[in-house]
């Protein structure tokens, strides 16, 4: 065996090539850059049969077509450095993709070993591979199966490399047949190349002829600089003849023939369970993504999600509300009293400002927890990917395609990332239109407002109210889409797309919990930053001038001045107006403001103050009851969904036999709202909350992405639409005798 032998590792990215490199070289490796490039070069030494061999880990590439610097580096290294063996590492679970590069390496006529790596993944997917058959189809090149992450097959790979080096390859790889008229032109160009010794010594003539017909830019540039004008002209004319004869350009025909060659090589060598049979995902998709049934199923699922969110979370919401508004507030008051600060402005700031404001919003953590839990299950199961597919027909009517539905889905969580998510859309008009519509999609921050008003005015039907609010937002988005499509974006076209559908799978507990934690903790962070700051500012506005009542405070004066605007919509109280103004900071602040204005000054003493021990016992008891009721409400999703069908009245579970009595339970804030709003004005208020400007952060995001003018359009439009729709709802309701 000669000294200084070199093994080159080539392969697609992420096929385990570097792991094989590490297995071969261990610690005997160093990392640098390829000369004149920023592409990483890894080189090491391996011991095979007592001899050291240099191993070069070439950059991960998909072809030798010089689409990227990495591909040029790999091709030039193999052409110029002529490694003694090239190990082509292929992903056994995706051989169609991996073999394209292998075919091009075969065309270079280098001593080649094919390492079929990641066989464990292929096996797990039910893919069976016959290495002997693949070897035969590729000109009897050695094929070795490896699972590099476990070090399996590495010794066999070394042994195969050793044999190839010891006995130089005698087999001639089967060339790809490019068919007529390409083969005739290759032969003609080959003759020209072979007639020129400067080219014939440097390149394999057939390989260079193919490269010329592929119009490989850097090869053409090299030949141009080398004065090979006659050859270049001949190649150009050959390409024109091919195009005229076949209708396709030569580059496409060559690539297509390579794919056909790969298909033939794998035919019989690889068997898949899904190649002939319909998979479980296919069967589910036949129903879920059905042209007619897909949309009703989607709406039904969303209905269940909002039932889950509004009703299942209610017992825990009531429990948190009871703990924050009762024992926690009492303990804080007691601590301030013990510190000699009882009745001071400090106590007022903490109790009336922070506790009423932030506490009032934290109450809704269970609501958001259940919302994110439902979305996480849908996401993790693979259903959400289908939503874009299902909604495509509908989105096209708005001048958008289904992909735009995904940022809208993100909008159910938060409008700000939804606006940034429009960056995934290529077309600027798509982005603007989608971002504009996103602001009408009801974000998680608005949910506490619906839940509060739903519980206060609609009891067990709160889920219907919440779902209606989401539908109102969706309807406004649709109407806005139609308006913009027929005015601002009337010349817009919608390009088609192809989507990779992930297989359905059972959601993983870890994945779901991580998702829920990530998004619920974001809400908690917001509560302790933006909402805390807003609560303090609001407390200040309600405390100035000193000694004034809430109504006479700065907050009351500003709110009163604006309140008449909302008189036609039925909610012209200064408290409601003030809440809407502060809601511009963040929608959750509406709830905290209502908490502060209605409850913040409520100093009514409790009839009998419980001891700390009694408080703790009650907290534990009520938590246990809330958990049982959560289970009850989860079960009740089924009858409540079925009961939507006219004439159907399925019985609901009632573990404590509380029946109507529980439905009548209301929090202090709900009771206060009942004194100010009617059910009809509550609906109008809810509709206004759905439709008006999401929050300052969303407006800032629109300004950043699309400019100040677009942000101004959005604010003006959404305020106008919100007011108009709220007025129509209220006045229409009155005309129908609902007020």
Partner 1 sequence: MASTLQQVLDIFEQNTGRPLSVRQVAQALDIEMGMLESMLHYWVRKGKLREVGGDAAGCAGCGASGGCLLAAHLPKCYERGS
**Residue ranges in contact with partner 1 by CB under 8 A:** 62-63, 65, 67-68, 94-97, 100, 247-248, 252-253, 255-256, 259-260, 262-263, 266, 272, 274-275, 282, 285, 289, 291, 375, 379, 384-385, 388-389, 392-393, 396, 401-403, 406-407, 409-410, 413-414, 416-417, 420-421, 423-424, 426, 495-502, 518-519, 522, 701
129 versus 682: smaller Cβ distance to partner 1: 129
Smallest CA-to-CA distance from 570 within 735, 342, 334, 380 is with: 735
Q: CB–CB of 119/146 below 8 Å? A: yes
- Kindly state the helix (H) or strand (E) to which residue 30 belongs, with its residue range: strand 29-33
Check the CA dihedral 456-457-458-464 and report its sign.
negative
469 versus 698: smaller Cβ distance to partner 1: 698
- Report the C-alpha gap between 163 and 662 in whole angstroms: 82
User: Which residues 6+ apart lie within 8 Å of 725 measured at CB?
Assistant: 472, 476, 687, 688, 691
Q: Are strands 6-11 and 51-57 parallel, antiparallel or unpaired?
A: parallel
Q: Least distance to partner 1 from the beta carbon of 659, Å? A: 39
265 versus 729: smaller Cβ distance to partner 1: 265
Question: Across-strand partners of 144?
Answer: 115
315 versus 694: smaller Cβ distance to partner 1: 694
385 versus 483: smaller Cβ distance to partner 1: 385
Question: Tokens 């797990």 map to which residue?
Answer: 124
114 versus 234: smaller Cβ distance to partner 1: 114
* 458-461, Cβ contacts within 8 angstroms, sequence gap of 24 or more: 458/679, 459/663, 459/664, 460/311, 460/663
Smallest CA-to-CA distance from 239 within 264, 215, 219 is with: 215
103 versus 451: smaller Cβ distance to partner 1: 103
Q: Least distance to partner 1 from the beta carbon of 64, Å? A: 12
Q: Least distance to partner 1 from the beta carbon of 417, Å? A: 4
Q: CB–CB of 629/322 below 8 Å? A: no
- Report the C-alpha gap between 80 and 74 in whole angstroms: 10
Q: CB–CB of 357/535 below 8 Å? A: yes
Question: Tokens 């049969």 map to which residue?
Answer: 49
Q: Least distance to partner 1 from the beta carbon of 700, Å? A: 11
211 versus 519: smaller Cβ distance to partner 1: 519
Q: Least distance to partner 1 from the beta carbon of 266, Å? A: 8
422 versus 593: smaller Cβ distance to partner 1: 422
Q: Least distance to partner 1 from the beta carbon of 196, Å? A: 30
52 versus 240: smaller Cβ distance to partner 1: 240
Q: Least distance to partner 1 from the beta carbon of 729, Å? A: 31
180 versus 393: smaller Cβ distance to partner 1: 393
- Report the C-alpha gap between 126 and 129 in whole angstroms: 10
Residue-wise burial string across 212-237, b where 16 or more C-beta atoms lie within 10 A, e elsewhere = bbbebeebbeebeeeebeebbebbee
Q: How many CB atoms lie within 10 A of CB 286?
A: 11
Q: Least distance to partner 1 from the beta carbon of 643, Å? A: 31
Q: Least distance to partner 1 from the beta carbon of 65, Å? A: 8
296 versus 337: smaller Cβ distance to partner 1: 296
Q: Least distance to partner 1 from the beta carbon of 75, Å? A: 14
- Report the C-alpha gap between 64 and 109 in whole angstroms: 13
Smallest CA-to-CA distance from 588 within 431, 445, 430 is with: 445
67 versus 655: smaller Cβ distance to partner 1: 67
389 versus 453: smaller Cβ distance to partner 1: 389
- Report the C-alpha gap between 687 and 691 in whole angstroms: 6
Q: Least distance to partner 1 from the beta carbon of 348, Å? A: 35
Question: Across-strand partners of 267?
Answer: 270
Q: CB–CB of 149/19 below 8 Å? A: yes
333 versus 415: smaller Cβ distance to partner 1: 415
Going through 126-202 in order, the beta strands assigned E by DSSP cover: 128-129, 143-145
Q: Least distance to partner 1 from the beta carbon of 379, Å? A: 5
Tokens representing 164 are 């190839």
Q: Least distance to partner 1 from the beta carbon of 78, Å? A: 19
Helices 280-288 + 383-390 axis angle, to 10: 40
Q: Are strands 85-91 and 128-129 parallel, antiparallel or unpaired?
A: unpaired
Q: CB–CB of 437/398 below 8 Å? A: yes
The span from the first CA to the last CA of the chain, in angstroms, equals 97
Please provide the size of the chain in residues. Answer: 739
Q: Least distance to partner 1 from the beta carbon of 487, Å? A: 23
Q: Least distance to partner 1 from the beta carbon of 502, Å? A: 6
Q: CB–CB of 539/353 below 8 Å? A: yes
């Amino acid at each position: 065996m000669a000294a200084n032998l070199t093994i080159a590792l080539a392969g697609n990215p992420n096929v385990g090539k570097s792991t094989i490199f590490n297995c071969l070289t261990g610690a005997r490796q160093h990392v640098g850059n390829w000369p004149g490039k920023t592409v990483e070069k890894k080189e090491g030494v391996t011991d095979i049969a007592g001899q050291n061999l240099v191993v070069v880990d070439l950059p991960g590439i998909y072809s030798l077509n010089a689409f990227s610097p990495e591909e040029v580096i790999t091709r030039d290294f193999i052409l110029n450095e002529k490694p003694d063996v090239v190990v082509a590492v292929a992903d056994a679970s995706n051989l169609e993709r991996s073999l394209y590069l292998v075919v091009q390496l075969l065309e270079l006529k280098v001593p080649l070993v094919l390492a079929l790596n990641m066989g464990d993944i292929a096996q797990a997917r039910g893919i069976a591979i016959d290495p002997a058959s693949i070897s035969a189809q590729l000109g009897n090149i050695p094929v070795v199966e490896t699972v590099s992450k476990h070090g399996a097959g590495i010794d066999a790979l070394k042994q195969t490399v050793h044999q190839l080096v010891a006995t130089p390859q005698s087999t001639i790889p089967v060339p790809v047949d490019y068919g007529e008229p390409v083969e005739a032109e290759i032969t003609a160009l080959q003759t020209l190349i072979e007639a020129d010794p400067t080219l014939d010594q440097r390149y394999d003539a057939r390989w260079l002829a193919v490269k010329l017909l592929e119009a490989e830019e850097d090869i053409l540039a090299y030949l141009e600089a080398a004065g090979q004008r006659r050859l270049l002209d001949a190649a150009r004319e050959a390409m024109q003849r091919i195009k005229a004869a076949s209708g396709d350009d030569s580059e496409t025909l060559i690539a297509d023939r390579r794919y056909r060659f790969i298909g033939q090589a794998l035919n019989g060598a690889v068997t898949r369970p899904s190649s002939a049979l319909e998979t479980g995902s296919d069967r589910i998709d036949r129903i879920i993504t059905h042209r007619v049934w897909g949309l009703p199923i989607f709406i039904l699922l969303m209905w269940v999600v909002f039932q889950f969110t509004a009703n299942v979370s209610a017992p825990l919401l009531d429990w948190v509300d009871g703990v924050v508004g009762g024992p926690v507030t009492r303990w804080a008051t007691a601590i301030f009293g013990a510190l000699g600060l009882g009745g001071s402005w400090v106590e007022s700031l903490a109790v009336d400002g922070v506790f009423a404001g932030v506490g009032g919003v934290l109450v809704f953590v269970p609501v958001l927890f259940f919302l994110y839990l439902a979305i996480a299950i849908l996401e993790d199961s693979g259903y959400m990917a289908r939503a874009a597919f299902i909604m495509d027909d509908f989105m096209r009517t708005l001048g958008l395609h289904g992909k735009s539905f995904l940022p809208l889905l993100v909008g159910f969580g938060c409008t700000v990332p939804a606006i940034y998510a429009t960056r995934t859309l290529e077309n600027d008009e798509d982005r603007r239109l989608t971002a504009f519509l996103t602001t009408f999609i009801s974000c998680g921050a608005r949910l506490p407002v619906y839940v509060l008003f739903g519980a206060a005015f609609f009891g067990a039907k709160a889920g219907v109210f919440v779902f209606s609010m989401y539908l109102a937002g969706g309807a406004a988005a649709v109407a806005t889409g139609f308006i913009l499509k027929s005015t601002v974006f009337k010349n817009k076209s919608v390009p088609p797309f192809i989507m990779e559908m992930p297989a359905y799978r059972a959601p993983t507990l870890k994945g779901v919990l991580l998702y829920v934690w990530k998004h619920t903790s974001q809400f908690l962070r917001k509560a302790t930053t933006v909402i805390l700051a807003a609560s303090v500012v609001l407390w200040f506005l309600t405390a100035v001038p000193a000694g004034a009542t809430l109504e006479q405070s700065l907050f009351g004066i500003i709110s009163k001045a604006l309140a008449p605007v909302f008189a036609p919509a039925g909610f012209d109280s200064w408290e409601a107006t003030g809440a809407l103004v502060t809601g511009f900071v963040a929608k959750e602040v509406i709830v905290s403001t209502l908490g502060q204005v209605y409850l913040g000054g409520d100093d009514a003493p409790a009839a009998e103050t419980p001891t700390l021990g009694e408080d703790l016992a009650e907290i534990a008891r009520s938590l246990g009851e809330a958990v049982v009721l959560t289970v009850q409400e989860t079960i009740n999703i089924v009858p409540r969904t079925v009961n939507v069908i006219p004439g159907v009245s399925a019985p609901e579970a009632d573990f404590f036999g509380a029946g109507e009595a529980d439905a009548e339970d209301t929090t202090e804030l709900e009771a206060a709202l009942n004194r100010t709003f009617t059910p009809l004005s509550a609906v109008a208020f809810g509709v206004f909350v759905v439709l008006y400007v999401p929050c300052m952060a969303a407006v800032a995001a629109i300004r950043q992405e699309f400019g100040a003018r677009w942000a101004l359009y959005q604010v003006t439009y959404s305020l106008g639409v919100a007011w108009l729709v709220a007025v129509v709802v209220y006045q229409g309701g009155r005309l129908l005798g609902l007020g």
